[in-house]
């Protein structure tokens, strides 16, 4: 039977997160929401913990750890719902976190995905890295957020308490219309993890849908539960996947220009990693580029099956220059140069 909302938590060896944060999800979710844990073939005792302590929660066991993208794609094929909530296991939700977003999406059928306000669980007065107050992207493909530019996290003073259309909604807690999810083919398995939600949102925008941020819904995210921010594997995935999503989704007249600029800008990033003593991150940037070149033909074929067009909520300047040269730390201080 189809449910209104399926809250789907992807788990991989995350028993400690389930112990700490699943109670808040159970306590604060409305009666019309079903909670599902999709397990990516964990080797810890997560499943036993769930069966003993939460027998009412549905468990889907994936055959392998295919990462974030494949893990959700496999599980969501088995769930009949009007809306999916893709929720990280390291998130504490608050009272009334579901209702404002579902009300918004019910009232505006062109919204494909929406995210809540995401604050840091470690410092609850500040925004959290993964999503903050809604995601944007600059003209060269660099993502950032209201409330977070690169590693700079703003204090939440109510400055982003307005509902707004954004470019992307975070995969840490993304409400998505199930029909649109399947219409667009779900997440891209080739991404494995990181930026797959930006790719999905960009495809949705190219298909004519909108992405929103709803601050009346508030959650707290630990972050770095699978890969911490300073992990070279995360650096590799972020740089590689960023190229993937640009090639797939950027309008034709912009693709070559973006890549020429990115060769130079990524080179600067690699040098900075090296000078800061993070040589494994420098190597990760190099490997990301060569992996992209090796798979260029594969992703070009994906591009040919998609539509690309000018889309809204793209920052028409370079966020790298704005932050590292002009020293802009807060989203609200950026020049209002959005498409």
The two structure tokens encoding residue 293: 């070149």
Structure tokens at 130: 């993964």
> What's the pLDDT at 122?
96
The whole-number pLDDT of residue 1 equals 80
The string of DSSP codes covering 218-271 is EEEE---SSS-TT-HHHHHHHHHHHHHHHHHHS-HHHHHHHHHHHHHHHHHHHH
| Closest among 142, 114, 119, 141 to 130, alpha carbons compared | 119
Span 250-307, pLDDT tens digits = 998 888 888 888 888 888 888 988 988 889 999 999 999 999 999 999 999 999 999 8
Question: Where do the domains of the chain lie?
Answer: 3-221, 232-333
- What pLDDT was estimated at residue 253? 86
Beta carbons within 10 angstroms of residue 300's beta carbon = 12
**Class assignment of domain 3-221?**
alpha beta
Model confidence, pTM: 0.94
Q: What integer pLDDT is reported at residue 230 of this predicted model?
A: 67
Over its length of 339 residues, how does the chain's per-residue pLDDT go in tens digits? Answer: 899 999 999 999 999 999 999 999 999 999 999 999 999 999 999 999 999 999 999 999 999 998 999 999 999 999 999 999 999 999 999 999 999 999 999 999 999 999 999 999 999 999 999 999 999 999 999 999 999 999 999 999 999 999 999 999 999 999 999 999 999 999 999 998 889 999 999 999 999 999 999 999 999 999 865 555 568 998 999 999 999 999 999 998 888 888 888 888 888 888 988 988 889 999 999 999 999 999 999 999 999 999 899 999 999 999 999 999 999 999 999 999 999
């Amino acid at each position: 039977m189809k449910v209104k909302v399926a809250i789907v938590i992807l788990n991989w060896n995350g028993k400690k997160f389930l112990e700490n944060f699943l109670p808040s999800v159970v306590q604060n979710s409305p009666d019309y929401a079903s909670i599902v844990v999709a397990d990516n073939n964990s080797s810890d005792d997560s499943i036993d913990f769930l069966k003993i302590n939460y027998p009412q929660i549905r468990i889907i066991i994936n055959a392998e750890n295919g990462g974030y993208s494949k893990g959700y794609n496999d599980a969501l094929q088995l769930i009949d719902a009007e809306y999916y909530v893709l929720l990280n296991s390291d998130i504490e939700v608050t009272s009334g976190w579901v209702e404002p977003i579902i009300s918004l999406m019910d009232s505006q059928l062109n919204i494909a995905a929406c995210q809540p306000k995401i604050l840091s669980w470690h410092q609850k007065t500040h925004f959290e890295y993964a999503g903050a107050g809604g995601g944007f992207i600059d003209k060269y493909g660099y993502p950032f957020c209201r409330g977070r530019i690169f590693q700079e996290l703003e204090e939440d003073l109510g400055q982003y308490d307005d509902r707004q259309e954004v470019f992307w909604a975070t995969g840490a807690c993304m409400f998505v219309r199930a029909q649109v999810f399947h219409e667009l083919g779900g997440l891209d398995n080739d991404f494995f993890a990181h930026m797959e939600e930006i790719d999905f949102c960009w495809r949705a925008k190219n298909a004519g849908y909108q992405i929103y941020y709803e601050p009346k819904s508030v959650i707290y995210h630990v972050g770095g539960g699978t890969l911490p921010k300073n992990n070279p594997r995360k650096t590799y995935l972020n740089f590689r996947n960023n190229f993937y999503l640009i090639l797939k989704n950027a309008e034709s007249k912009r693709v070559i220009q973006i890549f020429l600029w990115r060769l130079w800008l990524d080179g600067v990033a690699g040098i900075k990693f090296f000078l800061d003593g993070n040589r494994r991150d420098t190597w990760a940037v190099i490997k990301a580029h060569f992996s992209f070149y090796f798979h260029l033909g594969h992703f070009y074929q994906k591009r040919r099956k998609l539509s690309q067009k000018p889309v809204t909520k793209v920052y028409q300047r370079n966020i790298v220059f704005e932050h590292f040269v002009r020293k802009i730390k807060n989203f609200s201080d950026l020049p209002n140069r959005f498409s």
